[in-house]
Structure 1
Amino acid sequence: MQHHTINVTDLDMLHKVFRGFRSHDGVGYVFRGHAQAAWELLPKAGRPEFYLPDNRDLGRFYAWSKRAVAYSSLSSSYLEQLALAQHHGLATRLLDWSMNPLVACYFACSDHADKDGAVWMYEMGDAILTDENTRDTLKERKGVFGYLPKAVFPRVISQKGLFTVHCDAAHGIDVRASRLGGECPNLIQLHIPANLKPDILDLLADYGIDHSYLFPDLDGLSAHVNADTARIPKLRTDD
């Protein structure tokens, strides 16, 4: 079975789609934005430049964790430790999603302005991992699982974040029929043309979805102010 693609033609269409596909606090569809529609739906550790077969990505994470304790205390939960590493940019087998479709829209439209973007909508299955999972249990698992983290990081709260955990890291999402029935699959791509990105960002700003909201720290505030400045019409200096 193949995922469905819906080509977005205007802002009203986005509203209609999101009314039909909702998260319900992670039970139902969850959302992920790609600034380029052609990007693969894989965690960083599953992409060719970072992929290590035979669960060696967990060995890379182990080496990271041994050095990370010099900078931060680590949770006793292995999955929370992985989430921390993901949060700080390490290539892990976790893939970020949001329960808020507007958050996914922001990430789909805030970069690569000249490229078509995409919002992926995925019906989270019943296979949800808990914090009792360890490195050994992850090594034994096969498939894609959900993980709803505790509110450990401010970004998880503001972005209504959750993860899929890919075992192994290069294991893609298996496309199946939706539990809602009909011909709808559990994975749908909203294809967003590049020319709609500015209008979508303006709409999201009206709803309070911007960089400073999604990244509630000084880095996020600075990026937001810079983006606002870039949108201000510039005075001509050649007259």
Structure 2
Amino acid sequence: MKETTLKSIDQLHKFLERFRKASHFKFRGQSDKYWELTPKAGRQEFKKVRDITIFEHWKRRAPYYLERENYNEWELLSIAQHTGLPTRLLDWTHNPLVAFFFAASENYEKDGAVYIYKANHRVLHEKYGPFELTIPIAFFQPNVSSNRIANQFGYFTIHLDPKNALNDDTKDGHLEKLIIPSELKKEITHMLNQYGINYLTLFPDLEGLSKHLSWFAENNNFWNNTFDEDGLD
């Protein structure tokens, strides 16, 4: 996997120029460069319970909270993923700025990473259910079934075995990695906030509002200690 390191904010803008006319590339940000590209259901704390079992329990209780009744299986799994359930899905985005936000907004003491993936194939999810696939790792574009998926320009990889990470051995296409040094993280999040990429826009609900206000308060010195309405918008 090609790996480079971001040197400055100016270099970030230069890096993005490469993808301005290339819509096939998707991006994922992780706040620790050592984390593998593994779905939540395949991580150590969730490995002992099958993700299908967890999802079946979720589906029994979820209708009470859903806005409509006729979601298909792909939509339900996508909503479950975006509301925190351990699933075999791994989030990607069409918008590289969203990936930079997730790489830079947490674990300030650690280097983060933005991954760039161009899959050779996509799943036609109109023909197959998410648990009917036999491909080890597949790529698909979900229906916009929630505000979070819409605002984060969401895409997914789906992993037949959630414990299997996407890497050079399992990829179906082009994969590369950009390291985000820890010392650039706060500057990147402030820049992205100015561009309209923050917790409030990516999580358009009360959780996102609370996270955004918390982030603003934690970084109050950046705005000369002016915690007011004008600064928050």
Bin for the TM-score computed over the shorter chain: 0.7 to 0.9
Q: Is the 8 A contact 1:79 1:131 kept in 2?
A: no
**TM superposition shift of 1:18:** 1.9
Given the alignment, which residue of 95, 101, 104 partners 1:106?
101
Q: Is residue 202 of structure 1 aligned with residue 195 of structure 2?
A: no
Q: Is the 8 A contact 2:29 2:99 kept in 1?
A: yes
Q: Is residue 71 of structure 1 aligned with residue 65 of structure 2?
A: yes
Which stretches in structure 2 are left out of the alignment for 5+ residues?
Answer: 226-233
| Identity among equivalent pairs (%) | 38
**TM superposition shift of 1:189:** 0.9
- SS of the equivalent of 2:138 reads strand
* Residue of structure 1 equivalent to 2:181: 193
**TM superposition shift of 1:58:** 1.5
Measure the CA separation in 2 of the matches of 1:23 and 1:220.
31
- SS of the equivalent of 2:159 reads strand
Q: Which aligned pairs between 1:169-180 and structure 2 lie closer than 5 A?
A: 169-175=162-168
Q: Is residue 12 of structure 1 aligned with residue 5 of structure 2?
A: no
TM-score (ref. length: structure 1): 0.83
**TM superposition shift of 1:36:** 0.9
Given the alignment, which residue of 136, 142, 150 partners 2:143?
150
Q: Which aligned pairs between 1:210-221 and structure 2 lie closer than 5 A?
A: 210-221=198-209
**Structure 1 residues 100-151: Cα deviation after superposition (integer angstroms, max 9, x where no partner):** 000000111111111111111111221324143225513xx13211121111
Given the alignment, which residue of 85, 91, 98 partners 1:96?
91
Aligned residues: 221
CA RMSD of aligned residues (A): 2.4
Q: Which aligned pairs between 1:29-178 and structure 2 lie closer than 5 A?
A: 29-51=25-47, 56-72=50-66, 73=68, 75-134=70-129, 137-138=132-133, 141-175=134-168
Identify which range, 106-115 or 62-71, moves more after superposition. Answer: 62-71
Measure the CA separation in 1 of the matches of 2:167 and 2:220.
44
Alpha-carbon spacing, 1:22–1:79, altered in 2? closer, same or farther (3 Å)? farther
* Residue of structure 2 equivalent to 1:230: 218
**TM superposition shift of 1:163:** 0.7
Q: Is the 8 A contact 2:82 2:149 kept in 1?
A: no
- SS of the equivalent of 1:200 reads helix
TM-score (ref. length: structure 2): 0.85
**Structure 1 residues 62-113: Cα deviation after superposition (integer angstroms, max 9, x where no partner):** 2221232343355442111111111221110000110000000011111111
